[in-house]
Amino acid sequence: MGDEAVKFLTNQLYPDIKSWSASLARFLTIPIKKSNSPHLRSPSELLEALKLNHISVDSWVTLDCKPSAFGPFLRTHVMSPIPGMSTDMRLGPSIISDNPIMGLMGQMMTNLKPVGLYPSVSEDISQICLYPTDAEAFGFVGMMPDISNLIQYIPAVVSPKKILHLGSASSVQGIIRCATPKMMREVGISQEIWEELRQAGSLWYLDLLSEGTTIAPHGEAVVPEMWGALYASGHIEFEGELQLKPLIDGMAESLRMPDKEIQCIQNQAARKEFLLYGKGIRAVIDSQYPVYSIHMDAEIGISFKRERERFDRVCSAFRDVIKEVAKLSAVKLLNEDDLDFTYTNSTKSFKVLSSEAAEKIADPVGLAIRDWHRRRSEVD
């Protein structure tokens, strides 16, 4: 039989041989790439290898990490530079240093990093963060040098089918990707900002969505404690003059819990804001602009529901105080029940971002979160 006849019969009998061959090639290639992938023991080790060009874009890597649905700073948040008036007012793990003075300063001048739940990208794609396997907190913020880089992480995109063991130490196998200028432009981020992020090494993420990528928990997939801060920001719109003292007193009372006495001080410089401190919880109330924020230390690795409910009660109490003081001051609230941002049960508790000022938010991340809240509200 001639070659042409063989070719004709082959095409008739196996019309999908091309796609079958391509699938076979992928089937054979992916395991080889995975088995040859470098094994990194922490996100910081991976980020360092990327900065030094030891690993390139689209390369497979194996990474030991702790995947989590919580990510840092979904929205700008004003907070006190210190967690309180003594070393025991911040909850969660202590900052250990060989230098006892630096360790003491680290405890007194750092806050737990505020974190929130990432909204789903779509029904088939979720965004998560990969933290070190031994991390006890999502991170810290404060005035000490490099404190924000103490616990490094790398973002990842993943199929919802792979997130059953979030919070436990795992080995993940995925593909290194990089956010391109085009991707950033589509969400309104300029080339200049992209360049700043590139130089800071903040554009890398791990693809755990593609074929062959995996998340494998270590051992029995134990989920340990993980500390972060729950946070909310708000502003008050009103006609008239709002009495400040009952507002401060009422908000201090709303923070008070059985084991939490509240201290109040006023910054005598700059904006002269009031700082309210309790053990594990604090708030900032601006005296010149009607804005406020709440920041609560919380173990959310295994106790998110309980901590969220406590935090929601504080937010609701803040809202009630604002309404009571408005009545006392005989002023009209223009954004009653409005809370600019909280990632908890806000769609049922508050009219999220419905005020005039909220429409003027220019931050791309803030806009994305605002629209997510609104879409979720419409679905509910």
Q: What is the C-alpha to C-alpha distance for residues 99 and 108, in angstroms, rounded to an integer?
A: 14
Q: Which domain holds residue 205?
A: 34-73+113-217
Nearest CA to 144 out of 198, 104, 92 is that of: 104
Nearest CA to 140 out of 65, 72, 224 is that of: 72
What's the burial of 269, exposed, middle or buried (CB within 10 Å: 0-12/13-18/19+)?
A: exposed
Nearest CA to 373 out of 117, 71, 159, 186 is that of: 117
211 and 272 belong to one structural domain: no
Q: Which two tokens stand for residue 50?
A: 């990327």
Residue 25 domain flag: no
Contacts for 84 with CB less than 8 Å, ≥ 6 apart: 90, 263, 277, 278, 279, 282
Residue 250 domain flag: yes
* Residue that terminates a domain, selected from 217, 248, 265: 217
60 and 188 belong to one structural domain: yes
The residue whose two tokens read 């992209």 is 194
Nearest CA to 176 out of 313, 43, 344 is that of: 43
pLDDT in 10s for each residue of the chain, 380 residues: 444 543 433 343 333 433 333 333 344 456 666 667 899 999 999 999 998 889 998 999 999 999 999 987 556 678 888 888 888 889 999 887 778 777 778 788 899 999 887 766 667 778 889 999 999 999 998 888 788 888 999 988 888 888 888 999 999 999 998 877 777 676 566 788 778 777 777 788 899 988 889 999 999 999 999 999 998 888 888 888 889 999 999 999 988 876 668 999 988 877 788 999 999 999 999 888 888 889 999 999 999 999 998 998 898 898 899 999 999 999 888 887 776 665 544 444 444 445 555 555 554 555 555 555 555 556 55
Residue 24 domain flag: no
Where would I find the beta strands (DSSP E) of 181-308? Answer: 204-208, 214-217, 227-235, 238-239, 263-266, 274-278, 281-285, 291-299
Instruction: Look at the chain and report how many structural domains it folds into.
Output: 2
What pTM value is reported for the model? 0.81
251 and 352 belong to one structural domain: yes
Q: What is the C-alpha to C-alpha distance for residues 354 and 7, in angstroms, rounded to an integer?
A: 67
Alpha-carbon distances, residue 14 vs 2, 156, 182 (angstroms): 18, 39, 41
What's the burial of 73, exposed, middle or buried (CB within 10 Å: 0-12/13-18/19+)?
A: middle
β 60-68/170-178 pair status: antiparallel
Residue 107 domain flag: no
β 332-333/227-235 pair status: unpaired
Alpha-carbon distances, residue 22 vs 12, 14, 16, 19, 260 (angstroms): 18, 14, 10, 5, 64
